[in-house]
Amino acid sequence: MAKAEKFSVVGKRVQRFEGFDKVTGTSQFIADIQLPGALIGKVLRSPYPHARIRNIDTRRAEKLRGVRAVVTAEDTIKRPWGAFFADQYILSVGKARFVGEEVAAVAAIDPDIAEEAIDLIDIDWEPLPAVFDAEEAMKDGAPLVHDDKPNNITMTMDIERGNIAQAFAESDVIVEDTFTSMPQWHCSIETIGSVAEYAPGGKYTIYMNTQTLFNARYRIAAALGVPETDVRIIQSAVGGGFGGKSCDDNNALVAAVLARKARKPVKLINSREEEFLAGCRPRVFMKINVKLGFKKDGRIRAKHIKVIADNGAYSAKAPAITGVAAMRHDTCYKYSDVKTQAFLVYTNKIPTGAFRGFGNPSAEWAVEQAIDLGAHALGIDPIEIARINAAETGYVSPHGNRVTSCELKQCLDMTEKMIDWKAKRANKPPNTGLGLACTVHVSGKRHFGDYDGSSATIKINEDGKALILSGEGECGQGVHTAMCQIAAEEIGVPVEDVEISRADTDLTTFCLGAFASRLTYVSGNAVKNAATNVKQQLFEQAAEMLEADSQDLMSRDGRIFVKGAEGKSVTVADVARARLFRHNGAPIVGSGSFDADSVLPDSTRFGNESGAYNYGVQAAQVHVDPETGQVKILQFVIASDCGTVIYPLGAEGQVEGGLSQGIGYALTEGLQIEEGKPLNPNFSDYRIPSMRDMPPLQHAFADSYEPTGPFGAKGLGELNMDPTAAVINNAIFDAVGVRVKTLPITPEKILKALREKETDKSKQ
């Protein structure tokens, strides 16, 4: 096992790379970017969930003093676009399909004029029948969201591995239930925004707070109908992403169209209400039926899962998210006989999309409760059920996922010890209970073509300091610091001597961006490979200077030594200058790339979606007030298997942040939607957890090493919100004997379940 103490930089509590700029207010977020002559953009959005656009009259808006451009679909090439399915337009073509959809936009010299111009656009609407429930949308005769999609079905899955009928026949106990998740909004403190500029030569330059620059460039170019080289994306500082800032929305595209027509830069930033209506694509709503078969000893013999997922009006990343919910969990526990059915369905609601966990939280909300049901039916401690079935290193899931490192059982042991599981179960106060759930996540995902890689270039400046050029943008998770630590460790220089570039599609290497908890593992490997290349060049030059064989050299703290003769050394700066300032000299520049050893799933979705899998366990103790239904989390513990921890401060922040979002998903967050229109699109009525909602937390990282990761590291960012809702509901059941089966778990729902329980008792 690789231990942090073996490293000079990796695993150390270093200062965050961009921390100084953020705490001093010098970081440039999208609102801070000021281009000469920039205009303010505003969007006119559909007030209807489904309506035909008979006519748009923009003449009054165009005549308003201070307005420089008004655009509709007629100012676009009307080409549909999307991450997986091309089904949405920059501005509505023919009809609008959800409340908040972009229909027209204006650019003006100030926000007030832009707002006034929006009010002057006249639209002749023909409201159409709409559908808001996925199951209703699948029925014959339901209104069609897209005319070419019968029964509103976007995508289906029907996969069986093994013999599911025989496996259930051989089961001693069978449990089955249905659980419903709800949309969840990202609620980043900074909303989505863009600053777009159009050059007369035809090139767009767009500043975006996106977490996936090169994917954004590809989609924007496709929708605008221009070559990718005619679109430059520059990342601003990002005030939180969580999957919502991955260019599934139209903000940057609308800004680009306005900039082209106005021939001036245009800044377009969502208001908070717009963010709820049409900005960040919220978590996919799912209804999941789970049926599990167990042997008497607690082994899972069979699993059948049926998912009905609400796509909303357009697809974004919901097709991939639905696949994750239907299949990912089969890499957490060992069994071979599974049947998966899934339906992704269009409705006249906001399109859904990527959010931390990417389908896992919805699935684990259902599956981890079904496992808890099985434990109670068998009379086996839930933690023992998890141990009996836990995946291990070398496991291959029914769908082909190959596990090269797994410390799930170690995480179970750590969790049990931290929460004092056995003692608390044996001495349970009234209305107090314990809950547990396990989770698996990926360190990258091969689904954007047959590639899940990254690249980086490192150059050594004449003063001996290193600069990483990478298109992997920082979106708040601390990955740039981890990348600097990896480079510093491999080259042998202090981390203070390493910097990293701003992500820019024109100036940095190609990178896929922040999703699927991939950056530490995938981009970390690319940086390490680039650093190895640089170190080789340094050693070749230093060998001449030290009159030694390059194989006999080592580097540490910015100096290169001859092994065994550490008094004989040169600085990295001396080597860089010597390499450059000579006849036929050259700078020290090294590039590296990495593509994970994963396998693109085939037509039956069999493959190996990631190069590495990270695991975790959570447990909680809760108290439920039977008079009010209020839930108080008394203690929460988390154990994470993320391989070698590169940047401990960032990793701890990821655990705490993931738990916070998981608690919100479980207990407080629920957007009220009536006839397709959100009723509480603001932070006053949509309540995310605050500090006072956070329970006492104890967490630990497993002693783990991923052989394919940089210095043994793998992903972490999404792992610790995936099982939280199931943990809390399992604990509530242990406390008062009822389960709320639709998120969020509100006091009203708990009281209703308790009343129903009492009624059932009285009938017996």
Percent of the chain with pLDDT over 70: 99
Residue 201 C-alpha from the chain's centroid: 36
Q: What is the pTM of this model?
A: 0.96
How far is Cα 22 from Cα 27, in angstroms, rounded to an integer? 5
Pairing, β 466-469 against β 204-208: unpaired
Instruction: Retrieve residue 565's tokens.
Output: 């003769």
Residue 258 carries which side chain, given as an amino acid letter? L
- Strand order from edge to edge, sheet including 613-624: 432-442, 613-624, 631-641, 697-701
Q: Could you read off the pLDDT of 116-160 as tens digits, one per residue?
A: 999 999 999 999 999 999 999 999 999 999 999 999 999 999 999
State how far the Cα of 698 lies from the Cα of 721, in Å rounded to an integer. Answer: 15
> 272 with 239: CB under 8 angstroms?
no
Residue 181: which pLDDT band, with cuts at 50, 70 and 90? Answer: very high
What number is the average pLDDT over the span 304-314?
Answer: 98
SS3 674: strand
Q: Work out the number of other CB atoms within 10 angstroms of the CB of residue 589.
A: 15
Structure tokens at 640: 């994470």
193-198 vs 204-208, strand pairing mode: antiparallel
Instruction: Write out the H or E segment, with its range, that includes residue 532.
Output: helix 524-546
Q: 575 pLDDT exceeds 70?
A: yes
Q: Which of 419, 486, 479, 434 is nearest to 458 (CA)?
A: 486
With beta carbons less than 8 A apart as the criterion, state whether 104 and 71 touch. Answer: yes
Report the pLDDT averaged over residues 471-485. 93
What average pLDDT is seen over the chain? 96
pLDDT value for 2: 43
Neighbours of 141 (CB within 10 A): 6
CA dihedral in degrees (446, 447, 452, 456; nearest 10)?
Answer: -150
Pairing of strands 559-562, 565-571: antiparallel
Instruction: Tell me the DSSP string of 702-730.
Output: -----TTSGGGB---TTGGGSSHHHHHHH
- Note the pLDDT tens digit of each residue in 49-61: 999 999 999 999 9
Output Rg (C-alpha) for the chain, integer angstroms.
27
Q: What is the pLDDT of residue 678?
A: 86
Task: Name the residue type at position 750.
Answer: I
Asked if 215 and 184 touch (Cβ cutoff 8 Å), the reply is no
**Among residues 390, 379, 429, 437, which one has the least CA distance to residue 618?**
437
What's at 555, amino acid-wise? S
Helices (H) and strands (E) in the chain, counts: 19, 28
Query: Above 70 in pLDDT, residue 587?
Result: yes
Name the nearest CA neighbour of 610 among 417, 316, 401, 470: 401
Average pLDDT over residues 474-484: 93
Residue with tokens 């396998």: 599
Instruction: Give CA–CA dist 177/289, Å, rounded.
Output: 6
- Cα–Cα distance for residue pair 375/353, rounded to 1 Å: 33
| 3 state DSSP class of 433 | strand
Inform me whether the pLDDT recorded for 591 exceeds 60: yes
626 touches 736 (CB < 8 A):
yes
Q: Which helix (H) or strand (E) holds 273?
A: helix 272-278
Q: Which residue has the higher pLDDT, 746 or 18?
A: 746
- Summarised one tens digit per residue, pLDDT across range 48-98 is 999 999 999 999 999 999 999 999 999 999 999 999 999 999 999 999 999
Q: Provide the residue type at 35 as one letter.
A: L
Tens of pLDDT, residue by residue over 283-308, are 999 999 999 999 999 999 999 999 99
3-state secondary structure of 175: strand
Q: Tokens for 343, please give them.
A: 């339906």
Structure tokens at 598: 């994963």
Three-class secondary structure of residue 107 per DSSP: strand
Highest mean pLDDT among 173-182, 471-480, 563-572, 671-680: 173-182
Quote the CA–CA distance of 72 and 122 in Å, as a whole number. Answer: 12
How many C-beta neighbours within 10 Å does residue 556 have?
13
Specify the range with the lowest mean pLDDT, choosing from 418-427, 546-555, 622-631, 667-676.
Answer: 667-676
The mean pLDDT value for 541-563 works out to 95
Q: Name the token pair of 125.
A: 């609407």
CB atoms within 10 A of CB 747: 16
3-state secondary structure of 651: helix
- Token duo for residue 404: 């090269």
| 390 pLDDT more than 80 | yes
Assess whether pLDDT exceeds 60 at residue 1. no
Residue 257 has pLDDT above 80, yes or no: yes
The pLDDT score that the predictor gives to residue 505 is: 97
Q: What is the pLDDT of residue 565?
A: 80
- 725 within 8 A of 365, measured Cβ to Cβ: yes
Q: Looking at residue 282, what DSSP letter applies?
A: P
Q: Which two tokens stand for residue 107?
A: 């650019």
Q: What is the mean pLDDT of residues 647-670?
A: 96
Q: Which is nearest to 592 in space by CA: 700, 678, 694, 490?
A: 490
Q: Where are the beta strands (DSSP E) in 240-377?
A: 266-269, 285-294, 300-312, 338-346
d(CA 568, CA 561) in angstroms, rounded, equals: 6
Domains and CATH numbers, the chain: 4-27+453-595 (3.30.365.10), 33-128+189-240+246-278 (3.90.1170.50), 354-446+601-763 (3.30.365.10)
Bond into 744 cis (ω within 30): yes
